[in-house]
Amino acid sequence: MDIIDISAGALVGFIVGLTGVGGGSLMTPILVLGYGINPAVAVGTDLIYAAITKCTGVAFHHRHKTIDWRVVKYLLTGSIPSSLATIAYFSVNHEQQKAMEGMIMSTLSVMLILTAVLVVLKDKISTRGEQAVGKGFRTHIRHNRPAITIFSGAILGIVVTLSSVGAGAIGTAILFILHPKKSAIKIVGTDVAHAVPLTLIAGAGHLHLGSVDLNLLYGLLIGGIPAVYAGSFLGKKLSDRILRPTIALILFLMGFKLAFN
């Protein structure tokens, strides 16, 4: 652990507190592009960082009864097996671990660009819910909601394991579409409750593969946790109309750069 690790955690923590954008969308690309960290190590370390820092969020939402544990169960039914399968594939096929870095970079770039779009469209998706998709698909969702939720969890399990991005912005957007009658706070609480076990298991898988830097993790936690509060304090004083387009542009540019890095 050194000042660079702590500064990286402080930078990301401050931006997360300032903008409300998930740490995975920022932490991994900053570690890869700004600090030259190996992509697999950046993802693995960030996954455990996310699991630890989001635990307090789960406690908060559980206390206020803003978690739909039935939906969490459906999501985990899909995400945990797909995450374990992704890790198992690279664990068994050791020669493919180098290819894993290429998959991580590709997945990360796509997820960052998608997250940037969702940051811009967040209000529209949350207010329109089912209206965000066609009428025929809305009918299909109503008749097959548990199965579609499980399938969505399976997709999230793969992309989160490969990129550490998606458990926040992507997961929330999916839940708004699949469960449009739920309140926004219950959507967020449910998404956080799903993210913690998923990121913990995916992070443990990366630890098994040797792609977690514990010294880096300690530095990120020491720098990041206080910075989140500082960013949140300043964020209350800034206009969302300025913050959201700015962070969306940053995510888009980072995704574009990763795609051609």
pLDDT digits (tens, 9 = 90+) for 109-121: 888 788 777 767 7
Q: Total domain count for the chain?
A: 1
Q: How far apart are CA 217 and CA 87, in angstroms?
A: 20
Question: How high is the pLDDT of residue 20?
Answer: 57
Mean pLDDT score across all residues of the chain: 80
Q: Which residues fall within 8 angstroms of residue 85, CB to CB, at 6 or more apart?
A: none
How much of the chain, in percent, has pLDDT values that exceed 90? 23
Tell me the angle at which helices 97-128 and 240-259 cross, rounded to the nearest 10 degrees.
150
Enclosing domain of residue 99: 3-259
Tens-place pLDDT, residues 178-204:
887 788 788 888 988 998 999 999 999
Q: How far apart are CA 65 and CA 78, in angstroms?
A: 23
Q: What pTM, to 2 d.p., does this model score?
A: 0.80
